[in-house]
Amino acid sequence: MIQPKFKGERVLLALGALVTLTLSFANGFATLPTDVAKPQHCLLERIYKMVGYNCANLNLKEIPQSLKSNLQILDLSFNRIRDLNKQSFTRYTDVKYLYLFENMIQNIEEDTFSELTSLEALDLSSNALKSIPIELFSLPLLRNLYVAHNVLHDLEQDCTQLDKPIKAPIQILSLADCWLTRLPNFGILPDLWQLNISSNPLTELDIDQFAPMCNLRSLDLNNTQIPICACQTITADLIARRAKILNNHPHCTPLFATEQSICAQDTSPAPPSTDFQQCMEIRNTRKLDTEAKSAWFKISLGVLTCIVLFSIVLYYFHKRNAKSMKDNSNKHVKNPVPINRVMVPSGEELPIVENGNRTKLILDSD
């Protein structure tokens, strides 16, 4: 290596190295110090007494198959996974929380998630999906589903193949920034209380599309393109149902009489639709079933308590009587009743006495 002869050359070399390093950082060619300390394998974690693995940001291209099969939390976010198939999760059927956001997933084989019957939350946001796997809506415990930031062009067509009403008790659904022009028809969703459809070009949205969501309590409409009157109608109807509306369009909640008069006829309360009534019937039936089960449980608990108390009382009296009888038996043994014996001399016969003393009998006869 050629050594610089002068101090000025050393300064120039140092400046050149600094400029090169700066440009390499700007172009993304340099390795950041944080990358050096980044783990190169999945980390085993225990969260809320559940077994979990953190496999985030490891440049994985497929689902690792060397983890413990009883895991309940699996974080595979920020990787380079492109495809999922039936074998991807066959080892991990106990997983409850699965995070796959910020990958490159574009192909999901049919029935990939069918065996994940314990799954409660799934995040597929920020991938390259065109639709949502249909089998997800048949999972018995799936409550939270996030598929935001995907181009779901095929979702509406795939929803026609759903078995309705769906079995999944979905409570939170995020469809933000999915290029939707209308809300897909998932059928009756009696458990859904939070819906995010923000950042979508929703030009075909109307109030009837929210009828199957009778339990809706939060709706995010920020950065949408809903027509003015449709937006006012939806806002007025859902606020009447005590739902919270997140919307950055001021025309959806008019403040002045002139703005209100534009869509006055459209914002009048609409009669309950058939889907809304069916949704309410499902919720009321569930409520009655829950109350009936609770009542039977209380009755059964009361009867069982009475039986236990009665058994305790019987056992107490039985033990007390047994102890009393034992004490009396021991008392008789320790203090026997004395027996008076009359010693008769040999050769003498005892006088025969009948019914009392002889002298008394003679005196009575006189």
User: pLDDT tens digit string along 246-275?
Assistant: 998 888 876 655 556 667 655 455 566 799
Q: Are 216 and 192 in contact (CB under 8 A)?
A: yes
Instruction: Note the Cα 17 to chain centre separation in Å.
Output: 55
Kindly report the CATH class assigned to 142-294.
alpha beta
Which pTM value belongs to this model? 0.71
What is the Cα–Cα distance from 67 to 75, expressed in whole angstroms?
12
* CATH label, 35-128, candidates 3.50.50.60, 3.80.10.10, 1.10.220.150, 3.40.950.10: 3.80.10.10
pLDDT of residue 263: 76
List Cβ neighbours of 137 (8 Å cut-off, separation of 6 or more): 162, 163, 166, 167, 168, 170, 186
Measured distance CA(344)–CA(24) in Å, rounded: 136
Percent of the chain with pLDDT over 70: 75
Query: Nearest 5 degrees, angle CA 152-CA 157-CA 158?
Result: 80
- Above 50 in pLDDT, residue 2? no
For range 290-319, the mean pLDDT: 83
Segment 144-169 mean pLDDT: 94
Where does residue 23 rank: exposed (0-12), middle (13-18), buried (19+ CB within 10 A)?
Answer: exposed
Rounded CA gap, 231 and 26, in Å?
A: 44
CB distance 159 to 186 below 8 Å:
yes
Separation of alpha carbons 326 and 192, rounded Å: 69
The 10s digit of each residue's pLDDT in 26-79 is 444 333 444 444 557 999 999 889 999 999 999 999 999 999 999 999 999 999
Token digits of residue 347: 């050769």
The tally of CA atoms less than 13 A away on the side-chain side of residue 116 is 28
- The predicted structure's pLDDT at residue 267: 47
* Both structure tokens of 183: 């809300």
- The residue extents of the domains of the chain are 35-128, 142-294
Q: Could you tell me which residue, 205 or 287, shows the higher pLDDT?
A: 205
Helices (H), the chain: 7-27, 33-37, 155-158, 228-240, 257-262, 274-334, 358-365
pLDDT higher at 259 or 160: 160
Amino acid, single-letter form, for residue 284: N
In sequence order, what are the residues at sequence separation of 6 or more whose Cβ sits closer than 8 angstroms to the Cβ of residue 97?
Answer: 52, 72, 73, 74, 120, 121
Strands 144-146 and 121-123, sheet pairing: parallel
Strand order of the sheet with strand 172-174?
A: 43-47, 50-54, 73-75, 97-99, 121-123, 144-146, 172-174, 194-196, 218-220, 244-246
Token code pair at residue 25: 């950082």
The whole-number pLDDT of residue 299 equals 86
Where do runs of H (alpha helix) occur along 103-227?
155-158
- Both tokens of residue 261? 């008069």
Count the residues in the chain: 366
Q: CA 30 from chain center: how many Å?
A: 43
- Band (5; pLDDT cuts 50, 70, 90): very low
* Per-residue pLDDT, 34: 45
Nearest Cα neighbor of 119 from 159, 84, 92 is: 92
* pLDDT above 70 (res 194): yes
Alpha helix locations (H) across 141-250? 155-158, 228-240
Question: Which pLDDT score, from 0 to 100, does residue 33 have?
Answer: 44
